[in-house]
Amino acid sequence: MMIEDIFSDSFLAKAKADFNNVKSKPDLDKTKSMYLGSDSGVMKGFSSIPKLSADHRAEYGKNLNSLKSKLEVYYKAARESLDKGTDLPGLDLSLPGLSERSFAHGHKHPTSQVLSQTYDVFRGLGFSIVDSDEIETDWYNFEALNMPKDHPAREMQDTFYVNNGKSNLVPRTHTSGTQIRFMENNKPPFKIIVPGRVFRNEDEDATHIWSFYQIEGLVVGEGISMSDLKGTLLTVVQSLLGPEVDIRFRASYFPYTEPSVELDCKYKGKWLELGGAGMIHPQVLINGGIDPEKYTGFAFGWGAERIANIKYGLTDLRELWRPRFVFLEQF
Amino acid sequence: MKLPVNLVNNYLKNKLSTDGIVVALERTEVEVEEIISSIELDKKIVTAKVLKVLPHPNADKLRIAELVIGKDKFTVVCGAPNLKENMIVAYAQPGSVLPDGNKIKVASLRGQKSQGMLCSAKELGINDDHSGLLELDPSLPLGISLCDIENTGDIIDIKTPANRWDMLSVLGLAREIAANSPGNDIRYPKSEVVEYSDSELVKNAEIGECSRFISVKLSVKHNSKSPAWLVDNLLASGMRSINPIVDITNFVMIETGQPSHAYDYSKLEGSPRVRFAKSNEIITTLDKEARNLTKHDLVIADKKGPVAIAGVMGGLKTEVDEDTKEILIEVANFNKTTVRRSALRHGIRTESSGRFEKGLPLPLQDFAMQRLLYLFKDICGASIIQVPNDQLYAWPWVQHLGLRVRRADKFIGVKLDEKQLIDGLRSRGFDAEHFSLAKESAKHLGKPYLLGASYKTHKTDAFDCSYLTEYLYSLIGVSIGHTAKQQFDSGNGVEIADIKPGDLIFLERDFEDQKLKKERDGIRHVGMYVGNKGVLEASYDAGKVVITGLKAFEKSGTVRGIRRYVSSFNHIISVTCPWWRTDVRIEQDLYEEAAKILGYDKLPATLPQLPPMNNNDNTLVNKIDDLRNTLVGKGLFEIMTYSFISKKQLAENDLRLAEHLSVINPLSIEQEYLRSNILPSHLKILSNNRDYWENNYGFFELSRVYRKDTTKLNGKHEAWHLAVSLVGDGSVTALKNVLDLISEKYDWKIKVINSESSNFVKGRYAEIYVANINIGSFGQIKPSKLKLDRISSEVSILEIEITEKLITEADKILKPVPLYQFIDRDFTIEVDTAVYWQDIIEALENSSAVKIMFISEFTDVDLAVAAKKRISFRVWFDCGPQPEQKQIDVSASLVVTCLKKSKTIVNFKVC
């Protein structure tokens, strides 16, 4: 569009017609950018002002301003008429809802399917399923789990920090903080799992997502052993992935368990990393108000998306969090 | 960390293959990330000697090398700057193939015939050095294939755990590999025994920050080129060769885990000090960056200012170079947190700071210094100008622990073999033996009594009474306190009749000093019952450690009490940790060693013998999952969306910024705020799915949301939200249908009140109340909020806050099922358009209706002009098994009466 065109009547008439014909939000955005966006004739006109000779500037600017305000009026009118739509009549929303839709098959989210299956298995083993806050304090997320400030292990989990106006909170980097919260309020013996969202400040790719569901397990009682940990995990993994699946422990390190292990499973002939586990560190038991001489316990955790990935052969974990219905239709 | 296989094999008694090393490492906490395989070189790449170097007639940068192998001579055109006569080079003959796939041919380079090529280390795939030709050992025979002599070996890329400083050293890894490969052992490298003097080379003004500082001043003869083995090992470990002095300090760091630093002594002005920086000081570090220091940065400084940031990086001013003749070597132990914070502050996480951050043990500095001195003498021909000085400000204590084997059995879940356990611990460098009170007592009998003796001052050469008992318990890792009074206070009381070996007997005796008597609570002496009516004591009267008869011991004062600290002395392994295992501090750490010695693959699989939890079907998670299934059953998609949204999304949906928790360090502007509603995320999902083929569909999400709330603990409110979005014609009534379904499931008596919101179409938005509490709202979204191409695509969204109470279904107890039919009557009434169905339901609450069903709503032009509408509905009455007409009429008229009484339904008429 040439700059001199914009002051013609036909330009204004076309603009009015274009705004009048707006039928949808993207339409509105497109028309707005055409007439009022940074590449529009009007905006280009403004940026050409400094190049004009001094005596032309004032009048040219004035004309341009008046044109711009006319266009803005058209834009606002178009926006309002869009919201009015076809003057939708008000409805009595207390009336029973009527659906003329045909019956459809619903689709439970794949992560949810894994979570529900996991709940079933653990319920069968007599576990309770515990809900907990997703935004934690530094104490529960780190310090009470033997990760004081400056502890190198904090770096294993890139952390977001959130401001509540007064102090900083942590969108939990793992569900392990609930270990302490639960121990504070319950006497052993107990066996629970804690499912929930966790957050890691790291870049995403097909195999890493910054927000995911973790399933934390916690069992405390007299005489709870590492073999109990292995048996529990074997039962759960086989229930979720099939009776032919084998598991193994590899030595590892987490500040809040001692000994600590990585859990791998052999699925379709390949060893895959599943999660972390270990016997609860005595100091963590003490932080939760439990006598480590009398009681022992184990804890474990893994990502629900990881299981979904294995089970359903997902190729890009991001699909789980930026849902496309063509993807979800398959589940 | 990069672990070169050849390097680690230097420290193993039996060399292992790459696979052997990987297998051993997999039994430890080390994670093997990648194996970088060495390259098999072509047989036609051979050693050759450069006989002559001639200039190239047509090129300045090229030269002509005349090579010799036996009697054969070859000419090769070469551009390498380090080409010189008599050097031994790697010669790729015509017909050979380089590791990168390049085929070597006879070629003509600027008119000169070249019979092949001379190679750099990089071209051979040995390392990354491409600065010149690979210089081979002059003693090598000529004409032999390089693949027979030059074996770079594989490199294993590993991840080490945060609690193991020693695994950031090749020696530390060699120890682990040796312990996990049968019959293998570690071979320590050569070192120079060091005698330390007291004369300080460096002043340590921050003893709390620097617990050990070993320094030595050396003169160096050779500092031009590091030997090939050193360069190769550095390169394989991911470091560059700089000069022999720097290379040695770097190599010893890789080898032992101890970073050290060499200063050019001639560039130091005055003797250096360890101190905190002043807030305006600047240092230019070796990477040529000028850095503004703060008073929290620990530095080594000379008279003019800082010459190194402690543990992080040296300064450029005192850098060693080829002309360096005298050096000052620093081997120190700096506070891990201080080093870490400095490294973070200046954005330089170095190999050095990464090692200090893990916390290094005190004996390591001496160990590293001995190795450094050996290498400096060996490689640089160094001699000592000033005898090494060791400033040690902390006690290098030794960790004793008791491993209760039967407890470990229970902990691990399998009966452990004690011999295997002891052998395994020993192979890992631990001192381990069965603890026997009798044997241990016998060791100390006859040693002199000395008041105030301690481990620091007298080791185990002399004892006083409480030091003896403290020491014996320390061997099994039990801390009972140092003084008799502390020991008396820390144990459990036992009667004399129940006394068992290991129990301590406390005596009261006279004190001359009354203040001391009060302080010690009159307790003057302690002995340990060792069985057979004998008490082991460090006796003042006897002047030595003796066993006294129990009766005689009791008579030597007044028995104040007997204390017990462990329930049994049976099956305890007394363990002394090696100095490098700083990670082993509690008994559970030994259980881990025990489990690893056993092997995790040998661990049985059992299930915990605990009763089931009693609230299995009663938790919020279960209830939410049930709701989820209900909605899926309704034909909806379940979706999950991120909890963090953008500022733009908040603004677009008129959500107040100030109520939202903000992320301090967001990944991007898309994720700056924690959402207080799911609605913005759903609108975004719709715009991402605008090409979805279906016209009518719906989806839901059950997630937690968050907002600021200063009245709550931690200043925030978290709640579960349910959001349901429907797309397509009639979406809002269909959505009400979903709400009705949920309400019915949970028996909510919902009240829906039409309202207004900037996000929703006027007259098509309502708030939802249950028991007078607003639980959320629903309505049809304004088209301007939608980024959909099709205007016809209506979208309606419901969002409610879910609490456990709200989604708890009432206990189901059967009420009697009626054995007869109810009577029904249809009504049609004409009302103002402002009257809602809900008003009718409320009005009929006190009628005798047992059920009310909406039939239809009707408006025509006339009614519309009068602002009226007609509503038809059916009402059921319970009139008993044999209803009488009169009774039915009464019930029906009660319906009309109730409607008349209603304050909201005015001007109505029955049609």
CB-CB under 8 Å, B733 with A95 = yes
Interface test with A, best of B31, B602, B712, B733 (most A CBs within 10 A): B733
Interface test with A, best of B492, B613, B868 (most A CBs within 10 A): B613
Q: How far is CA B886 from the centre of its chain?
A: 80
Q: How many CB atoms lie within 10 A of CB A218?
A: 26
Residue B152's pLDDT band (cuts 50, 70, 90): low
Interface test with B, best of A198, A226, A321, A327 (most B CBs within 10 A): A226
Q: Is A64 on the interface with B (CB under 8 A)?
A: no
Q: Is A185 on the interface with B (CB under 8 A)?
A: no
Q: How many CB atoms lie within 10 A of CB B767?
A: 18
Show which of residues 67-96 on chain A sit within 8 Å of chain B, judged by CB atoms.
Answer: 79, 82-83, 85, 88-96
Which amino acid is present at B909?
A: K
Residue A330, both tokens = 């398959």
Give the chain B residue nearest A273 (alpha carbons).
Answer: B31
| Nearest chain B CA: its distance from A290 CA (Å) | 16
Q: Is B629 on the interface with A (CB under 8 A)?
A: yes
Q: Which of these ranges, A199-203, B639-643, B699-703, has the smallest mean pLDDT?
A: A199-203
Cα B642 from Cα B681, distance rounded (Å) = 8
Contact B440, B475 (CB under 8 A): yes
Look at residue A4 and tell me whether its pLDDT is greater than 60. no
Look at residue A1 and tell me whether its pLDDT is greater than 50. no
Q: Which residues of B touch A95 (CB under 8 A)?
A: 733, 736, 836-837, 854, 857
CB-CB under 8 Å, A164 with B716 = yes
Give the chain B residue nearest A281 (alpha carbons).
Answer: B588
Higher pLDDT, A256 or B198: A256
| Nearest chain A CA: its distance from B262 CA (Å) | 27
Give the chain A residue nearest B687 (alpha carbons).
Answer: A26
Task: Identify the burial level of B860 via C-beta atoms within 10 angstroms of its C-beta, where 0-12 means exposed, 13-18 middle and 19 or more buried.
Answer: exposed
Residue B151's pLDDT band (cuts 50, 70, 90): low
| Domains defined along chain B, listed by start | 2-38+155-179 (3.30.56.10), 45-149 (2.40.50.140), 203-392 (3.50.40.10), 400-592 (3.90.1720.10), 620-802 (3.30.930.10), 823-910 (3.30.70.380)
Show which of residues 702-731 on chain B sit within 8 Å of chain A, judged by CB atoms.
Answer: 703-704, 706, 708, 710, 714-716, 718, 728, 730
Contact A235, A219 (CB under 8 A): no
Which CATH superfamily hosts domain A110-328? Bira Bifunctional Protein; Domain 2 (3.30.930.10)
> Which candidate from B716, B763, B839 shows the least CB-CB separation from A91?
B763
Higher pLDDT, B841 or B783: B841
Look at residue B425 and tell me whether its pLDDT is greater than 80. yes
Where is A22: in which H helix or E strand?
Answer: none
Closest C-alpha among B695, B679, B850, B851 to residue B757:
B679
Per the rule left: phi > 0, alpha: psi between -120 and 50, beta: everything else, A269 is left
Show which of residues 733-762 on chain B sit within 8 Å of chain A, judged by CB atoms.
Answer: 733-740, 751-752, 754, 761-762
> Which candidate from B662, B714, B782 shows the least CB-CB separation from A137?
B714
Q: Is A116 on the interface with B (CB under 8 A)?
A: yes
pLDDT at A51: 81
Interface test with A, best of B25, B598, B638 (most A CBs within 10 A): B638
Look at residue B134 and tell me whether its pLDDT is greater than 50. yes
Tens of pLDDT, residues B603-626? 999 999 999 887 655 689 999 999
Look at residue B115 and tell me whether its pLDDT is greater than 70. yes
Q: b/e for B826-852, b at 16 or more Cβ within 10 A? A: ebebbbebebbbbbbbbbbeebbbeeb
Q: Is B640 on the interface with A (CB under 8 A)?
A: yes
Where is B443: in which H helix or E strand?
Answer: helix B437-444
CB-CB under 8 Å, B640 with A323 = yes
CB-CB under 8 Å, A250 with B26 = yes
Q: What is the share, in percent, of chain B residues with pLDDT greater than 90?
A: 66
- Which whole-number Å values give the CA distances from B80 to A13, B92, B840, in the listed order? 75, 15, 98
Residue A169, both tokens = 């909170």
Give the chain B residue nearest A152 (alpha carbons).
Answer: B162
Give the chain B residue nearest A249 (alpha carbons).
Answer: B600
Interface test with A, best of B621, B654, B855 (most A CBs within 10 A): B621
Residue A84's pLDDT band (cuts 50, 70, 90): low
Cα B336 from Cα A28, distance rounded (Å) = 59
In this structure, what is the dihedral angle of CA atoms B298, B303, B306, B310, given to the nearest 10 degrees? -40
Which amino acid is present at B670?
A: E
CB-CB under 8 Å, A103 with B635 = yes
Residue B224's pLDDT band (cuts 50, 70, 90): confident
Task: Identify the burial level of B532 via C-beta atoms within 10 angstroms of its C-beta, where 0-12 means exposed, 13-18 middle and 19 or more buried.
Answer: exposed
Show which of residues 294-323 on chain A sit within 8 Å of chain B, judged by CB atoms.
Answer: 296, 320-323
In this prediction, residues A24-28 reach a mean pLDDT of: 78
Compute the count of residue pairs across chains A and B with CB atoms less than 8 Å apart. Answer: 362
Closest C-alpha among A229, A220, A197, A211 to residue A131:
A197
pLDDT at B881: 87
Tens of pLDDT, residues B178-197? 999 988 999 999 999 989 99
| Nearest chain A CA: its distance from B82 CA (Å) | 44
Tens of pLDDT, residues B302-322? 999 999 999 999 999 999 998
> Which candidate from B592, B631, B762 shows the least CB-CB separation from A106?
B631
Q: Which of these ranges, A273-282, B148-157, B806-815, B899-908, has the smallest mean pLDDT?
A: B148-157
Q: Is A107 on the interface with B (CB under 8 A)?
A: yes
Write down the ipTM of this complex: 0.84
Residue A68, both tokens = 């711009």
CB-CB under 8 Å, B635 with A253 = no
Q: Is B434 on the interface with A (CB under 8 A)?
A: no
Q: Which residues of A touch B710 (CB under 8 A)?
A: 165-166
CB-CB under 8 Å, B586 with A258 = yes
> Which candidate from B613, B736, B838 shows the least CB-CB separation from A126?
B613
Look at residue B105 and tell me whether its pLDDT is greater than 60. yes
Tens of pLDDT, residues B31-72? 999 998 877 788 889 999 999 999 988 888 889 999 988 888
In this prediction, residues A15-40 reach a mean pLDDT of: 83
Q: Which residues of A touch B27 (CB under 8 A)?
A: 251
> Which candidate from A23, A221, A261 shows the least CB-CB separation from B600?
A261
In this prediction, residues B457-478 reach a mean pLDDT of: 92
Look at residue A176 and tell me whether its pLDDT is greater than 50. yes
Looking up tokens 């009354």, which residue turns up? B514
Show which of residues 120-179 on chain A sit within 8 Å of chain B, judged by CB atoms.
Answer: 123, 125-131, 133-135, 137, 150-153, 155-156, 160-169, 171
HSE, side-chain direction, 13 A CA sphere, residue A196: 27
Q: Is B791 on the interface with A (CB under 8 A)?
A: yes
Q: Is B619 on the interface with A (CB under 8 A)?
A: yes
Q: Which residues of B touch A90 (CB under 8 A)?
A: 754, 762-764
In this prediction, residues A313-321 reach a mean pLDDT of: 91
In this prediction, residues A236-254 reach a mean pLDDT of: 95
pTM, two decimals, is 0.83
Which amino acid is present at B241?
A: S
> Which candidate from B664, B685, B763 shows the least CB-CB separation from A90?
B763
pLDDT at B308: 97
Q: Which of these ranges, A99-113, A235-249, B553-567, B846-860, has the smallest mean pLDDT?
A: A99-113
Cα B501 from Cα B810, distance rounded (Å) = 63
Higher pLDDT, B874 or A39: B874
CB-CB under 8 Å, B629 with A108 = yes
Show which of residues 278-297 on chain B sit within 8 Å of chain A, judged by CB atoms.
Answer: none
Cα B505 from Cα B501, distance rounded (Å) = 11
Q: Which of these ranges, A98-112, B140-154, B763-777, B880-894, has the smallest mean pLDDT?
A: B140-154
Cα B430 from Cα B125, distance rounded (Å) = 41
Residue B763's pLDDT band (cuts 50, 70, 90): confident
CB-CB under 8 Å, A116 with B837 = no
Closest C-alpha among B712, B716, B714 to residue B659:
B716
Contact B560, B462 (CB under 8 A): no
Cα B468 from Cα B474, distance rounded (Å) = 10
HSE, side-chain direction, 13 A CA sphere, residue B630: 19
Dihedral sign, CA of A57, A63, A69, A72? Answer: negative
Cα A319 from Cα B825, distance rounded (Å) = 54
